[in-house]
Amino acid sequence: MSCKNSKYKINTAVIPGFGLLILIALILFAFPLFFGVIGFFKLFGITYESNRSIFLLILSVILIGSFFEFIGKILLAAAAVTVKNKALYRLLKMITDFIISFITLYIADSIVSGIFIPQHVLIVAAAILSLTEAVFDRKQTA
């Protein structure tokens, strides 16, 4: 059976093309995130040993955060059924997002040894993340 007669013939440019698209998407996502974190660290005076430790921190925040976000979604789904007041629900959602962000950042900071983030910066970062989430959530529901 030759490749010309095959029903599943794949153009040899398609697979490398998809790989290149995925690589470009990762670069477009990773570079602003990486340099944004470096800028945040410079702004708040956070010390780090190397770029590798920043990469490990970002990776651990994403992995740990996805676990806690799943738990938060379950808690908020239960709260949506029981809490009828929209303002109270939004406040509860913002508090839950703050706690989840703080726990995620705290655990990631504890795991990665090359970075020292003071407690007050963890609180500020968690507050910024929860406020950003609340603003974008409000724009989606409006």
Q: What distance in Å separates the CA atoms of residue 92 and residue 99, rounded to the nearest whole number?
A: 11
21 within some domain: no
Q: Could you tell me whether strands 47-48 and 115-116 are parallel, antiparallel, or unpaired per DSSP bridges?
A: antiparallel
- Cut 0.85: pTM above it: no
113 C-beta neighbours (distance < 10 Å), count:
10
Map tokens 């013939």 to a residue: 9
23 within some domain: no
Spell out a b/e string for 3-39, using b for 16 or more CB atoms within 10 Å of the CB, else e: eeeeeeeeeeeeeeeeeeeeeeeeeeeeeeeeeebee
Q: Is residue 138's pLDDT more than 50? A: yes
Q: Is residue 60's pLDDT more than 90? A: yes
101 within some domain: yes
Cα-to-chain-centroid distance, residue 41 = 17
53 within some domain: yes
34 within some domain: no
Q: Is residue 63's pLDDT more than 80? A: yes
76 within some domain: yes
39 within some domain: no
28 within some domain: no
pLDDT tens readout for residues 25-40: 888 888 888 888 888 8
pLDDT tens readout for residues 82-119: 988 988 998 999 999 999 999 999 999 999 988 988 99
- Per the structure, how many domains does the chain have? 1
Q: What distance in Å separates the CA atoms of residue 86 and residue 105, rounded to the nearest whole number?
A: 28
Q: Which residues contact 116 (CB under 8 A, 6 or more apart)?
A: 46, 47, 48, 109
Q: Which domain holds residue 109?
A: 45-141
